[in-house]
Structure 1
Amino acid sequence: MLKKLRDMLTHRRIAEERNRALRARFGRSLEELKGLFSRPLDMVPISATEKRPSRYPEISSLLPGTGINAFYAHFQLESNKVHELIEGIKNGFDKVDEHLYIRRSGNEAGDFFISIAFSNEFSGSIVSMMTNDTSVLDRIVVANSSPPPPWVAFPEISEPLKLGFLQGDIEYWWDNYWSSFWESLTAEEREAYLGRHGATEEWKRCIWLHGREARELLESALSEKDQG
């Protein structure tokens, strides 16, 4: 009986913390968001979204089990691109407040919404967005959203080749914002991005050393060593 009570209190605390987090970020509680995003998601566009060529930003169904019928994107954007992003995604939507946009569907299935929030971190803008309109997700890709380069996000790092293993803030940023963006680019797009942002040779080398290609080469070498 005591264990059951502890479990119940734990689940309640988790639910309360999640509710506070949603309200702090999107200005609405879980129940309010469930009410807004009640329209069933169309499974055909979901499939198309998952197969789109660009994987940045990564899109996922929002927190399975919450009852919010929406896609969720959490990514970083260069601060000077925020206005362009908002103008691009809100096409056809009416603004309700600073966090919410609506597009009337005209049928009983329910309306379409965009709930969006911004915060300033790592010398850029962190975007958290949920929507039940897949065309909005396509417009994010068209907007060419990208995080700032690592030397802008971490201007205090003057010798990137001495970083060694990534730790702390830069590890968090690299894993959550930079890596998914970088790995989504073609070789030509990478060169263009580095050139546009004035990358030094040291930073170019650092990015390669902490990228998928270098990791795969290391894993292959270690595997061959073990087999030998």
Structure 2
Amino acid sequence: MNIFKRIGAALGGVKQEHELARDYPQGSLPPAPAFSSYPEKTHLGDQGIFAYRMEFMVAEAHGSLVLDAINSEFQLESQAVFQEGHLVNGARSIHFSLRPEFGGARVAIVTNSVQLLEKIDALKLQPPPPWIVFPDADPSALGSLQGSMEYWWDWFFQPFWASADAATRARYLTIYPTDQEWRDYLMLHTPR
């Protein structure tokens, strides 16, 4: 799917490329520092949109942390965890969506606020693990992933797991304890 249709779908409607380019003109994006690798940020400048896009998932309880970060840079009209919108603060702009999916909060953001991206990085966000999102899944019988689990794994969990170092993975498994079958499955899917 075209990135602009994905952004539009994530934000609840079709957002045309030229509309986003208008909201994020050249010169509106300050030089970016070295961001954390998770959540991944995609620079959209080659498409005429001078902003970053990110999409990730957090436990519903952590959705409020994302909203607090957004509210610190832009003034939200609501404190509801699940919401979407377009906000402007001077030359900075954001299109965002927090939606309930997979038992957590799916977050999609397009922004030229480097400060906001740094605040989100500082949160050290993590997606909930597969044994919570898919409690009935048997890791010993999964084989190749398909359907909604494959989508969730490819877009939300694997980007986190692949970017995490050994210490982060160990802490994650302490926060979200699981059985040996899931640990073995994760080890098979850990980048070397």
> TM-score under structure 1 normalisation?
0.71
Distance 1:57 1:164, change over 3 A: same
4+ runs of 1 displaced by more than 4 Å?
18-21
Distance 1:69 1:178, change over 3 A: same
Q: Deviations over 1:150-206 (max 9, x none)?
A: 01111121x212212222222221111111101222212211111111221111111
1:84 and 2:57 equivalent? no
Aligned to 1:162: 141
1:133 and 2:113 equivalent? yes
What percentage of aligned pairs have identical amino acids?
30
The count of aligned residue pairs is 186
**What one-letter code is carried by the residue in structure 2 that aligns with 1:83?**
S
Specify which of 44, 62, 68 is matched with residue 49 of structure 2. Answer: 68
Aligned to 2:81: none
Q: Pick 1 or 2: higher relative contact order, CA cutoff 8 A, min separation 6.
A: 2
Specify which of 139, 145, 148 is matched with residue 125 of structure 2. Answer: 145
Once the two structures are TM-superposed, the CA of residue 127 in structure 1 deviates from its matched residue by 0.8
Q: Deviations over 1:133-165 (max 9, x none)?
A: 1121111111121111001111121x2122122
Measured in 1, the distance between the counterparts of 2:52 and 2:7 equals: 17
Once the two structures are TM-superposed, the CA of residue 128 in structure 1 deviates from its matched residue by 0.8
Measured in 2, the distance between the counterparts of 1:58 and 1:89 equals: 17
Once the two structures are TM-superposed, the CA of residue 60 in structure 1 deviates from its matched residue by 0.6
**What one-letter code is carried by the residue in structure 2 that aligns with 1:194?**
L
> In the TM superposition, what are the counterparts of 1:21-100 in structure 2 within 5 Å?
22=8, 25-26=11-12, 29-30=15-16, 31-42=18-29, 44-45=31-32, 48-49=33-34, 52=35, 54-62=36-44, 64-65=46-47, 67-95=48-76, 98-100=84-86
Contact 1:27 1:99 in 2 (8 A): no
Once the two structures are TM-superposed, the CA of residue 27 in structure 1 deviates from its matched residue by 5.1
5+ residue gaps, structure 2, are 79-83
**What one-letter code is carried by the residue in structure 1 that aligns with 2:141?**
K
Once the two structures are TM-superposed, the CA of residue 19 in structure 1 deviates from its matched residue by 6.0
Once the two structures are TM-superposed, the CA of residue 23 in structure 1 deviates from its matched residue by 6.7
Task: Give SS of 1:102's match.
Answer: strand
Distance 1:39 1:91, change over 3 A: farther
Once the two structures are TM-superposed, the CA of residue 117 in structure 1 deviates from its matched residue by 0.6
Task: Give SS of 2:11's match.
Answer: helix
Distance 1:23 1:171, change over 3 A: closer
Measured in 1, the distance between the counterparts of 2:151 and 2:13 equals: 25
Contact 2:29 2:113 in 1 (8 A): no
Structure whose residues are more often helix by fraction: 1
Contact 2:103 2:133 in 1 (8 A): yes
Between 116-125 and 36-45, the greater mean CA deviation after superposition: 36-45
Aligned to 1:226: none
Superposed CA RMSD in Å reads: 2.7
5+ residue gaps, structure 1, are 1-13, 105-110, 214-228
Task: Give SS of 1:94's match.
Answer: coil
1:209 and 2:188 equivalent? yes
Specify which of 179, 195, 216 is matched with residue 174 of structure 2. Answer: 195
